Structures are given as C-alpha cells and as structure tokens.
Structure 1
Amino acid sequence: MKKVSVVTINFNQDTITEELLDSIAATNTYENIEIIVVDNGSTVNPLPKWLPKYPDVTFIRSELNLGFSGGNNIGIAKATGDYYFLVNNDTEFTPGLVQKLVEVLDANPQVGIISPKLVYDFDRSIIQYMGFTLIDYYTCRNQAIGKNQKDVGQYDSFLGQTGYCHGGAMMVKRETCDKAGLMADNFFIYYEEVDWGERINRAGYQAWVRGDAVIYHKESMTVGKKSPFKEYFMNRNRILFIRHNAPPLKAFVFYIYFMLTVVPRNIISYVKEKKYNFISILFRAIWWNVTHNKHSEELGFTVNKVS
C-alpha cells in the first residue's frame, strides 16, 4: 500500500483548517496516510493549541508567508509519502476520497497527477471543477469544465485526462516531482498549479480527474473573492505564466492582447465598481514583469499583512 502525505497550508484561518482536519478524521479509511499542516506565517502561531489537539498531525511553522507554492514546497520537503495530496485548507474530505485517487495512480504509470471533482461547499449541488482545458498562449485563458453546473451525477463515471489539475486538491506522485520539479516559488499564489501542470505535461506525464472522487471547497476563504492582493497576483502571474511557458511569437501576441484589450477592459471595470485603487495595482503587476527576471523571487507586494 502506497503511503499518502496530505499537505495543507494555514494562514490566519485556524477554524477552517481545523474543519479540514476533522473532516479527514471523520471520513478517511485509507490507513497508510500522514497529515502535514504548514502554518504560513499566521499573525498568531496556532501550533501550541494544535499540537495537543491533533497529536497524529505533523505541524510546521514558517515565520514568513511563502504563499501557496512556497508553503506546499515546505510540506513536500517534510513528506515521506509515495504520493503527495496537496489540498487547500478550505476543503473538506468525503468518504473514499484518498483511496479512489490512489487507485488511479497505482494502476496508470502514465498518470503523474490527479484531482477529484471539486464541489462548492456553500451549495454542495454545484460543481466547481471537473477538469481544465489547456491554456491558450495567445490570451492566457482556458476553461473550467463543469464549472457552475448542477451536479446530477453526469460526471460520476468519468475518469480520464485533463489539461491541468486543480490547486485546491491534487494528488501527485513523488516520482513526478522528481522529474518535473516542484512549484515555482515566485508565483506565490495563482497560476502556480497550471505552470506546474505545464512542466508535468512536458515531463511526459498526464493529468487526470476522477468524477466519483469528491472534495468540498470553500473557495476564496483566505484572500477574499476580490481584493487588492488577489487582483495584483492574478494580473502579475498571468503575464509571468506566459513568460515561463509561451514560445516567443505567441508571447508577443499575448503582450499586445493584454495591453490593448485586458488593461482597458479592467480599468473600465474598476471605474464602474469604484475600485479606483485597483488601477495602480494593475500597473504595478505589469511593471513587476517589466523590471524583474521571470525567475525573480521578489514579489512586489507586501504579503504578510494580507489576511
């Protein structure tokens, strides 16, 4: 039986993380499992209260907020499993979840990474994710399969390849990480899983999704549905993704598209919503890509004060 390391990150969301840990304890029957929680520089260190409450969980404290990519990479470095199950702390497990994903990875050597179906927690009849199409380098856009559909069992029998796995819940083989590397730390949050997915695909592995494996997702519990923090990194990393992955001609077309279409559209949206401060945030995101190497670890945003 392969060992599974469940890795999750906490940042100022102690109650949400505890709900995840409780859901794992209540639903999981897979025996060879370890759970690792990385506290990503929370304002108040939660480890003193967690250690006696969850004695079987491994806790790691980072004094700095290293983001989704950096926090997961810390957890993976500590993990001893054959498979790493990276899950957002704002998720809740369902019965058989781990076993179903392990079965696919065990039986299919070409599969390097797999996600379950993600369902919104606020309405557990609505699907969030059943796969992604590949990103179009000309626009840096793709589509989420099944998103916002009513779940009437239409994907329950689906098992197969997808463009990328979902960062909210993805189980990856250790050997995949050995060949493709870990997530790039300089994304911090957003686009890091699709950038990783590009490298996993190029390493010769496939990404799959299984429809009868389900996890519930309380989306955007940490950064909010729309915030300056999110707006900055979504724009900065959209450009950064293209710099990491697109061929030169396609990258050039994207830059033209972004400046002539995306920027004016976003500014109009900010003005309509009276979010005038977002205009400068957008240009900060663009300027970072102008002034920084694509592998630069400087983020251009104060992250530890964002809750």
Structure 2
Amino acid sequence: MINTPKVAVVILNWNGVKYLKQFLPSVLASTWPGLEIVIGDNASADDSISFLKENYPAIRIIQNDKNYGFTGGYNRVLNQVEADYYILLNSDVEVTPGWIEPVISLMESDEQIAAAAPKLLSFAQKDQFEHAGAAGGFIDSFGYPFCRGRMFYEVEHDLGQYEQSGEVFWASGASLFIKKKYWDEAGGFDEHFFAHMEEIDLCWRLKNLGYKVMYCAQSTIYHVGGGTLNAENPFKTYLNFRNNLLLLKKNLPFWRAFFVISIRFCMDLLAIFRFMAEGKRKDAWAVSRAHQNFVLGLMGIRGSGYGVRDFNNRTDNAKPRTTQHASGTISKNLKGMYKGSIVWAFFAKKKTKFTDLDQADLI
C-alpha cells in the first residue's frame, strides 16, 4: 500500500486483568506499521490500570468514569481515538502473526466495505469455530442470528470448509474492523443495547446505508468467549432476548417489524416454557423481563429490567443514530440474510451446518 492507513486496536476492559496479562503480548507482537494500541477501561475495580502502567507504560489508557457497558464504553473511548481504521478487540482474544494485514487489504480493495472480521476460532479448542462469530455472521427472516460454522448450539470444526472470504450480514464484535468514517456516519454503537447484538445492529444499519460487511478467511484469531458474562448468566439471557426485539424494531420497515416481532413473542414464549421445564427459572424470568422492558419502551415508559435503560431513554452521551446516507440516498444491502426460518431448518429439518442450508435461500 502506498499510503498506509492508520490503524488503532482498541480493547475495552472491565475487570479483565487476567486476560490483559494473558493476551496483550500477542497484540503487541502485531506487525502493522505505526499501529496504536489503546486500552479503554470501564471503571475496573481490579488492578487492571496499575498492571498496565507498571508493565506497559507506553500503551495509551482511556478511563471512563463508570461502567457504560460495551456500547457506551466504546463510544466514549473511540471519540478520543484518531485513526483510519478501528479494530474493536475483546480482551479475551489471542491474535496470530500478521492478523491485521489481510483484513485491511480486503477492506482497502473496495470503498463500499465498511466493516469486516477475521475467522474466529475457539481458544480452548483451536480446531473448532467459536460461537461469537465463527466464519461470518448471517441472520434469518425472523431476526435469528447464526454463523457459518455455528448454528445455535452446534459448532463445527474448522476443516477448511470456509476458506473463501466474502460478504456477510454481520461481523463479530470480538474483533470488529471498521473504517472510522463509517463508524462516524452510522453514529457508533446504540447505547440502548448496553451489550450483546450491538455489533449486529451496527452492521445492519451500515447495510441499510448500502455498505458491505465482510468475512476475511485469511486472518485467524482465538476467542475465549464469555469473559464478562458467561452463557449461564440470566442477565445475558435478558440482553439477548431484549436486544433481539430491539434489533428488529429498529432495522425493519414498520409493518414488517410488527409482523416479525409478533411471531417472535410467540416463539419466545416457547423459550420460557423450555427454561421452566429445564429448571432454569431465572432465565425464564429474564425472557419475561426482556418482553416487559421492550413493551414499556414502546409505550415511552422507562423499564426497570436489570438496571439497563430502555430504548427510549438514552444515556447522557448517546448520540442519535443516523438513518440517512451522507449522499442523501439509502440503498439497502441485504446480502447475508437467510430468507427462511433458521429455527425450522435446524430443529425440524435437522440442518445443523451452514452447508446444509439451501443456498438459494441466502440473499
């Protein structure tokens, strides 16, 4: 590249000193010229800051005054970082040599590419895809996200089946590459999400503006997953169900959103019954609270679920989320959407791998 883009790796930390100790050295070994590494801290109560200052005094630290969640934390930190590309990297990620170069090269090849992610494998089992992003994110017509390499709880081994880079619907927030100008145009993360599915919302908004989101097979990282909220945490259940409804409400046309959300409420009731049958009463209650918060938000009433603001009450620094392209036109890009129901395909038709799906049903 004649003009080397300025790239900043930004790691948002919250009480994650053990991950900083374990994985920061691999990030520091990155070979991108002039790379800036920034640690944004969401008011950690552990010794993260003292560890960084003592062991990595050259690393820039940006401290938030409290925990603003994944969304608010990143918004505030990135407001203070200047670069052509941001790489939003989870603290529980081990990167590999030369992991940045292939992704930036791919994104530089097309002005319309706004965001991208590398191949995401499991740190615990390195020949297996990782749940949070695998080989690129997709979404079905009812708003259920899934990945190449991961559908619901079925995770594939990496056998070289997804070695082709290409356009997807969403890129994982575990390692999200995004051009700063498009981050700014989209308005960053929506802070109503707090955490979980915020990257899907951001990618959907970018695609509604006509931009592309890519998967880069030539770059690999290893993700621990569940570093802040593990899969058994009812708060995570609450966020996943609440935020999925919010995702649909925001990004679909009104009548389509009304239709899909009505169906999702019925399907979520089945999830409540399943949780109850499995003895997971806190998870069942979390789904119910997610519905309550969503409905109260529609009515303009502030919800009380788990202390997270409902979507009609932004945090003080939250910016309006733009829905208009800078050129004044909107050209939606739905590449990466599955026209059918992934629930029906997976549970009824037993299609447990991405390659089992009818490729004609993928936009």
Q: Same fold (TM over 0.5)?
A: yes
Q: Which amino acid aligns with 2:120?
A: L
Structure 2 regions of 5+ residues with no counterpart?
Answer: 309-363
Cα RMSD between the aligned structures?
Answer: 2.0
Instruction: Find out whether 1:203 has 2:206 as its counterpart.
Output: no
Which SS does the other structure have where 2:114 is aligned?
strand
Deviations 1:4-57 (A, max 9, x none): 11111111221112322111123x111221111111122235212311211221
The match for 1:140 is 143
Do 1:8 and 1:38's aligned partners in 2 also have CA atoms closer than 8 Å? yes
The match for 2:89 is 87
Q: Which whole-Å CA distance do the structure 2 matches of 1:294 and 1:149 have between them?
A: 42
Q: Which amino acid aligns with 2:274?
A: S
Instruction: Find out whether 1:73 has 2:75 as its counterpart.
Output: yes
Deviations 1:88-125 (A, max 9, x none): 11111101111111111222212111110000111000
Structure 1 residue 297: Cα displacement: 9.1
TM-score, L = length of structure 1 = 0.90
Q: 2:10 aligns with which of 1, 7, 11?
A: 7
The match for 2:350 is none
Do 2:249 and 2:257's aligned partners in 1 also have CA atoms closer than 8 Å? yes
Task: Name whichever of 189-198 and 14-23 sits farther off.
Answer: 14-23
Which SS does the other structure have where 2:63 is aligned?
strand
Q: Which whole-Å CA distance do the structure 2 matches of 1:131 and 1:179 have between them?
A: 23
Task: Name whichever of 227-236 and 11-20 sits farther off.
Answer: 11-20
Map of 1:26-65 to 2, 5 A cutoff? 26=29, 28-44=30-46, 46-65=48-67
Q: Which amino acid aligns with 1:209?
A: Y
Do 1:179 and 1:203's aligned partners in 2 also have CA atoms closer than 8 Å? no
Which SS does the other structure have where 1:7 is aligned?
strand
The match for 1:284 is 289
The match for 1:17 is 20
Do 1:120 and 1:218's aligned partners in 2 also have CA atoms closer than 8 Å? yes
Change (3 A) 1:280 1:142: closer
Q: 2:119 aligns with which of 108, 117, 120?
A: 117
Q: Which whole-Å CA distance do the structure 2 matches of 1:83 and 1:90 have between them?
A: 21
Q: Using the aligned pairs only, state the percent identity.
A: 27
Do 1:113 and 1:172's aligned partners in 2 also have CA atoms closer than 8 Å? yes
Q: Which whole-Å CA distance do the structure 2 matches of 1:236 and 1:261 have between them?
A: 13
Map of 1:264-275 to 2, 5 A cutoff? 265-275=270-280
Structure 1 residue 153: Cα displacement: 2.5
Do 1:243 and 1:294's aligned partners in 2 also have CA atoms closer than 8 Å? no
Do 1:186 and 1:299's aligned partners in 2 also have CA atoms closer than 8 Å? no
The match for 1:238 is 244
Which SS does the other structure have where 1:270 is aligned?
helix
Do 2:296 and 2:303's aligned partners in 1 also have CA atoms closer than 8 Å? no
Structure 1 residue 170: Cα displacement: 1.2
Do 2:8 and 2:83's aligned partners in 1 also have CA atoms closer than 8 Å? yes
Structure 1 residue 277: Cα displacement: 2.5
The match for 1:180 is 186
Do 1:161 and 1:209's aligned partners in 2 also have CA atoms closer than 8 Å? yes
Structure 1 residue 87: Cα displacement: 1.1
TM-score, L = length of structure 2 = 0.77
Q: Which whole-Å CA distance do the structure 1 matches of 2:296 and 2:222 have between them?
A: 39
Change (3 A) 1:275 1:111: same
Q: Which amino acid aligns with 1:84?
A: Y
Which SS does the other structure have where 1:301 is aligned?
helix
Which SS does the other structure have where 1:177 is aligned?
helix
Q: Which whole-Å CA distance do the structure 2 matches of 1:126 and 1:220 have between them?
A: 16
Task: Name whichever of 122-131 and 63-72 sits farther off.
Answer: 63-72
Do 2:170 and 2:200's aligned partners in 1 also have CA atoms closer than 8 Å? yes
Q: Which whole-Å CA distance do the structure 2 matches of 1:259 and 1:159 have between them?
A: 35
The match for 2:107 is 105
Q: Which whole-Å CA distance do the structure 2 matches of 1:48 and 1:142 have between them?
A: 38
The match for 1:130 is 135
Structure 1 regions of 5+ residues with no counterpart?
Answer: none
Which SS does the other structure have where 1:109 is aligned?
coil
Which SS does the other structure have where 1:8 is aligned?
strand
Which SS does the other structure have where 2:147 is aligned?
coil
